[in-house]
Amino acid sequence: MKNFLKYASCVMVGLALTLLPVLSVAQYTGHGGVIFTFSPEIIGANGETMSNASDGTWDFGAANLTTTGTSTAGAQTFNGALTVGTDGVGHTVTFNSDTAGDTFVWSDTAEKLTITGTNAATALDVADGNVVIADTLDVNGTVDIDVTTAAITGTAADLTAIVLVTSNAAGGIDIDTGTSGIDVDLDATGPFAIDGDLTAIGSAGADGGTADGDNDLLVAGDSEVDGIFDVDGSVDADVTTFNVTATQPDLTAIVLNASHADSGIDINSGTRGVDIDTTGEVSIDGGVVNVGGGTPDTAAGDNDLYVTGDFEVDTVVDLDGSVDADVTTFNIAATAADITAIVLTTSNGSGGIDVNTGSGGVDIDTTGTVSIDGAVVNIGGGSPGTATGDNDLYVTEDFEVDGNFDYKARVLVVGQYFADPNAASFPVTLTGVDSTDWIIATVNNPTNGAYLLSADAFTDSVTVTLSADPGEAIRITFMAWTD
């Protein structure tokens, strides 16, 4: 036996080895003071026992081996199962290293395996195979994964399937990739949510302008969104260009929505202004559209437009309401080559158009015809008599025509003669009349008692006959209706 225990190694073939702190029948003191106790006495496969073995190698079969003592020297090899303690009764197992304090300990009381190595050195090295953790992996330090691919799979059916947590208040998570970048592939119904103070892209964590608070996003470079961009806060774009392109074929392709009842949208541009280029309509549905920032007067209701400065329209103006122009000049210029170039329409059957001017009056300067198609054209605001029908003209005060007057398809030609005819009958030139026209003549200056006998129309002239030669200059006024 003593010769066997002096060997550098002890090989036990087919042994079921149990280490228990008990004493049995047969005891042998081995090398280093370790006591081996066998109960019953171990008989090898070759019939040898521990006490009479010739070569130090036995086949113990199904025998039980119990060891007690403090230490044993040399390498030991066990070719069988190794059990420490029994079910419910455990013992601490310690593996020491060549470095003081570095141990591999299974604690029966703490019920955990503790590896204490040297800082920055490898304490656990899995050269090949997988590491499977059925429950939680808690790392209180640094995780260095030097592999071809690292896959983390969570089977929980909720948002906490995979959680990366830095418990220190000043801790963070740094993901450093190569040129392939980071690909986050989400289910169609799953959101990508970042709940933090500031999400900074490209600025090494530095705060931006307005993006410096709760759940803000700062992008130092270009930001491209290939989908829906929903911002529940403010967008501060300090960029060279800011392009928003949507492919959705309806009015909601791009929506700016200030959802709060007291919020608004402020567009502040430089000298280039704001350019809206569309083949459809520009529709503004609101209380008052205020251009210039002044204080509206009548434009204070639903869908009104208030312009502080000049208002210029280079196409069609369609107003379903009123125009209140408190301006120095109000110019409407149209380029259409027909009568509908400028149209003022009151669509209501009882509506009208009221033009109210100061002492400057109304000046209509045209090379065409001024056509008024209505029941009565009332000048002066009086109550018409016979002028109450279709296309009638009623003048309350004086009616003066410096040209032709067309009445019922006839033109009123007005002329005047002021001279001494030196005869009782004489011709007066009146261009535009002929022998079929009606003539009205009045003598306005009969100081000598002469009076008018007749006024007969001829081609471009009227023959006037008086009762006598007036002997002085007289004034005669003619009105002739010509066809």
pTM flag (> 0.75): no
Tens-place pLDDT, residues 88-101: 999 999 999 999 99
Residues 6+ apart with CB under 8 A from 473: 418, 419, 420, 445
What pLDDT is attached to residue 356?
A: 83
CA distance 481 to 412: 5
What is the DSSP-derived secondary structure letter of residue 298? S
Chain mean position to CA 48 = 90
Degrees to nearest 5, angle at CA 175 with 173 and 180: 165
Contact 444, 475 (CB under 8 A): yes
What pLDDT is attached to residue 22?
A: 35
From the first residue on, what is the mean pLDDT of each consecutive set of 10 residues in the chain (483 residues)? 35 40 40 47 50 47 49 68 87 92 93 91 86 80 77 81 80 84 80 74 63 70 73 71 80 79 82 86 78 73 75 72 72 80 80 84 84 76 69 74 64 82 89 85 72 87 87 85 76
CA distance 290 to 304: 8
What pLDDT is attached to residue 97?
A: 92
Contact 452, 466 (CB under 8 A): yes
User: Helix, strand, or coil here: 291?
Assistant: strand
For residue 242, CA distances in Å to 237, 239, 245 come to 7, 7, 10
Encode burial over 126-163: b for 16+ CB neighbours within 10 A, e otherwise. eeeeeeeeeeeeeeeeeeeeeeeeeeeeeeeeeeeeee
Residues 6+ apart with CB under 8 A from 388: 375, 376
Tens-place pLDDT, residues 221-241: 777 777 777 777 677 776 777
What pLDDT is attached to residue 99?
A: 92
Task: Give the DSSP H/E element, type plus range, for residue 441.
Answer: strand 438-443
What pLDDT is attached to residue 410?
A: 64
Residue 414's DSSP bridge partners are 479
What pLDDT is attached to residue 408?
A: 60
Task: Give the DSSP H/E element, type plus range, for residue 455.
Answer: strand 452-458
CA distance 232 to 132: 42
3 phi and psi, to 5 degrees?
-65, -35
For residue 184, CA distances in Å to 37, 125, 219 come to 63, 31, 18
CA proximity to 30, closest of 11, 2, 55, 8:
2
CA proximity to 11, closest of 70, 53, 69:
53
Q: Domains plus CATH for the chain?
A: 2-84 (no CATH), 192-283 (no CATH), 402-482 (2.60.40)
What pLDDT is attached to residue 114?
A: 92
